[in-house]
Amino acid sequence: MAMAASSNSLLLKNPSHPSNGYSFKNSTTKIIFPSHNNYFSNPTRSNKPFSITCATQVQDRSTTNSTPQSQDRVFNFAAGPATLPENVLKKAESELYNWRGCGMSVMEMSHRGKDFVSIIEKAESDLRTLLNISSDYDVLFLQGGATTQFAAIPLNLCNPNDSVDYVVTGSWGDKAFKEAQKYCKPNVIWSGKSEKYTKIPSFDDLEQNPDAKYLHICANETIHGVEFKNYPTPKNRDGILIADMSSNFCSKPVDVSKFGIIYAGAQKNVGPSGVTIVIIRKDLIGNAQGITPVMLDYKIHADNKSLYNTPPCYGIYVCGLVFEDLLNQGGLEEVEKKNMKKAEILYNAIDGSGGFYRCPVDKSVRSLMNVPFTLEKSELEAEFIKEATKEKMVQLKGHRSVGGMRASIYNAMPLAGVEKLVAFMKDFQARHA
Ligand SMILES: Cc1ncc(COP(=O)(O)O)c(C=O)c1O
């Protein structure tokens, strides 16, 4: 159906129906895609053509091999979506067109067919092995990101008048608290805001409400780089601790039995965006408020083994490949050792720079995953990012709310990437000190 066209348009014969924002001509039809900028700002949508290119292009496209090579790839320090293991990408590529001889891609399969069911079952089984998850817990593969869980948790666990406790160690914990305000009565029992989210509280200082339905923490604050190294004991009646583990999920062993719920968006450590993993103690399922949308009701998803509606099939498949890879590496003990080594050399480089680089986070709670740092001479930060990008180290800019730099060094960031960054930082300092 598609015919030759310019680089930013498609020619179609007999299109089925014109739709908003696209211009059609009869017979041989030219579809002109709207300009990217106008697309969002102009409600009538412009007919200007747009083309898609790589805005962060770090190499001459004419030299890029049609068969992907590792030398074509950058070290991607993005906070999420984030770098994925090369061997996982290659495996996904080799199976993209024809999954294991079934004549179609995972993207084209029925989610209720035997093939996809085997994929999701294996993903769950491998995740259970990795985190030693007992049969007291359900593992759900959902959609909507961790943000959706900010609402789903109070909706499933609380009545509107129930109190719940939130420890807020960064922006994500704060967002979770604010969303919960719509569905129950949350209290912030500790906030690190006045200290710019650089600390984790002493657990003895927490004034937990014994009547709270649960205690909520964000195990690793992605923006501020603050990570719980151990976990508070919930003092509420049912002993329920809930953790947003989006940015340190599967980065180290975790005793799942300490938690009522662990949830995580996949797009940092275990897969592409679009998949949200919820590990939930079975006795917490089945009490959702009447107003809970069906898509947020844990019982619906647990009863239907995450197949109530069409799940993000391809994303779940890639998560499965990542879990397999983590098991092949020797499991999460081995993965944690690698993560500790990477974090150690990066923090040492920052602390050993005589103040040229600074990390504001309390040393005892620095994240192994997200390393924020600033330059003493903040006017050099743009140059730092520019030069690093030229050296194929990308996405080092800190979150817009805190500025500075942030290197996210998730499981899939190789040691070589961190070593290269550290060598660059030393060289940059030598040239700019
Ligand atoms: C710790 C944490 N929680 C929640 C979120 C929100 O996740 P999502 O965008 O998948 O809703 C993020 C995203 O970066 C995060 O880092």
In this prediction, residue 433 has a pLDDT band, given cuts at 50, 70 and 90, of: confident
The amino acid sitting at 125 is S
Q: Which of 213, 252, 268, 397 is catalytic?
A: 268
If one residue of 141, 142, 143, 147 were mutated to test the ligand 1 pocket, choosing by the most ligand atoms within 8 A of its CB, it would be 147
Distance 133 CA to ligand 1 centre (A): 23
- Specify whether 268 is catalytic: yes
Q: Which of 11-20, 56-65, 234-243 is least confident? A: 11-20
Least confident of 26-40, 120-134, 258-272: 26-40
- Residue span of the structural domain in which 288 resides: 87-329
First to last CA, the chain: 60
Of the residues 263, 294, 329, the one at which a domain ends: 329
CB-based contacts of 55: which residues, under 8 Å, 6+ apart? none
Q: How far is the CA of 142 from the centre of ligand 1 (A)?
A: 14
Domain-embedded: residue 71? no
Three-state DSSP class for 125? helix
Residue with tokens 């890639």: 318
- Euclidean distance between CA atoms 212 and 163, whole angstroms: 5
With a 6 Å cutoff on the Cβ, whether 369 touches ligand 1 is no
- The residue whose CA has the least distance to atom 5 of ligand 1 is 146
Under the banding of pLDDT at 50, 70 and 90, the label for residue 44 is low
Nearest atom within ligand 1 for CA of residue 170: 1
Does the residue 68 lie in any domain? no
**Quick check: is 190 catalytic?**
no
Model pTM? 0.89
65 backbone dihedrals φ, ψ, rounded to 5° = -70, 145
Q: At what angle do helices 332-351 and 415-432 cross, to 10 degrees?
A: 0
Per-residue pLDDT at 7 exceeds 80: no
* CA–centroid distance, residue 340 to ligand 1 (Å): 22
H-helix segments, 329-358: 332-351
Question: Does 29 score more than 80 pLDDT?
Answer: no
Q: Which of 329, 344, 359 is the last residue of a domain?
A: 329
Domain tally, the chain: 2
Residues whose CB falls within 8 Å of the CB of residue 4, separated by 6 or more in sequence, listed in order: 11
Find the CATH number of the domain harbouring 282.
3.40.640.10
pLDDT value of position 49 = 79
Per-residue pLDDT of 182-202, as tens digits, reads 999 999 999 999 999 999 999
160 and 266, same domain (yes or no): yes
52 — pLDDT class (breaks 50, 70, 90): confident
Answer whether residue 363 shows pLDDT above 60.
yes
What 3-state class would DSSP assign to 369?
A: coil
Q: What tokens appear for 235 in the block?
A: 């003092």
Mutate to test the pocket of ligand 1, among 174, 217, 246 (most ligand atoms within 8 A of CB): 246
Q: Burial of 150 by CB count in 10 Å (0-12 exposed, 13-18 middle, 19+ buried)?
A: buried
List the CATH number of the domain containing 340.
3.90.1150.10
- Which pair of structure tokens corresponds to residue 229? 């190294």
Cα separation, 334 vs 336, in Å, equals 5
User: Does some domain include residue 56?
Assistant: no
Q: What's the angle, vertex CA 190, arms to CA 285 and CA 166, rounded to 5?
A: 15
Burial class of residue 321, CB neighbours in 10 A (0-12, 13-18, 19+): buried
Give ∠ CA 95-98-102 in degrees, rounded to 5: 120
Q: Is 99 a catalytic residue?
A: no
Q: Tell me the percentage of the chain whose pLDDT exceeds 70.
A: 86
- The reply to whether 230 and 370 lie within a common domain is no
pLDDT, position 41: 58
pLDDT, tens only, 140-184: 999 999 999 999 999 999 999 999 999 999 999 999 999 999 999
* Confidence grade of residue 72 (pLDDT, cut at 50, 70, 90): confident
Domain check: are 234 and 374 in the same one?
Answer: no
- Cβ–ligand 1 distance for 218 under 6 Å, the answer yes
Instruction: Specify the ligand 1 atom closest to the Cα of 222.
Output: 16
User: 337 and 300 in one domain?
Assistant: no
Supply 306's token pair.
């995450």
**Residue 422 CA from chain centroid, whole number:** 24
pLDDT at 38 over 80: no
260 in contact with ligand 1, CB cutoff 6 A: no
Q: What is the pLDDT of residues 373-420, one digit of tens each?
A: 999 999 999 999 999 999 999 999 998 888 899 999 999 999 999 999
Cα-to-centroid distance, 258 and ligand 1 (Å): 22
Is the minimum distance from the CB of 265 to ligand 1 under 6 angstroms? yes
Tell me how crowded residue 307 is: count the other CB atoms within 10 A of its CB. Answer: 15
Residue 278 and residue 303 in one domain? yes
Task: Please report, for the chain, how many H helices and E strands are present, in that order.
Answer: 10, 17
Output the CA 215–ligand 1 centroid distance in Å.
19
What b/e string do you get for 4-15 counting C-beta neighbours within 10 Å, with b at 16 or more?
eeeeeebebeee
Cβ atoms within 10 Å, residue 330: 11
For residue 3, is it within any domain? no
> Which helix (H) or strand (E) covers residue 220, if one does?
strand 220-221
To test the pocket of ligand 1, the residue of 141, 218, 220, 247 to mutate (highest count of ligand atoms within 8 Å of its CB) is 247
Q: What's the average model confidence in pLDDT over 277-299?
A: 98
53 domain residue, yes or no: no
353 in contact with ligand 1, CB cutoff 6 A: no
pLDDT for position 408: 98
Per-residue pLDDT reduced to its tens digit, 202-237: 999 899 999 999 999 999 999 999 999 999 999 999
What does the pLDDT read at residue 67?
A: 56
- Decide if 11 is inside a domain: no
- CB of 173 within 6 A of ligand 1: the answer is no
Measuring CA to CA, which residue among 163, 167, 258 is closest to residue 213?
163
Exposed (0-12), middle (13-18) or buried (19+): which is 3, by Cβ within 10 Å? exposed
Same domain, 250 and 375: no
Do 335 and 314 belong together in one domain? no
pLDDT on residue 46: 65
User: Given this model, what pLDDT does residue 298 score?
Assistant: 98
Q: Which of the listed residues 311, 329, 347 is the one where a domain comes to its end?
A: 329
Residue 43: its pLDDT value, please? 58
Mean residue pLDDT of the chain comes to: 90
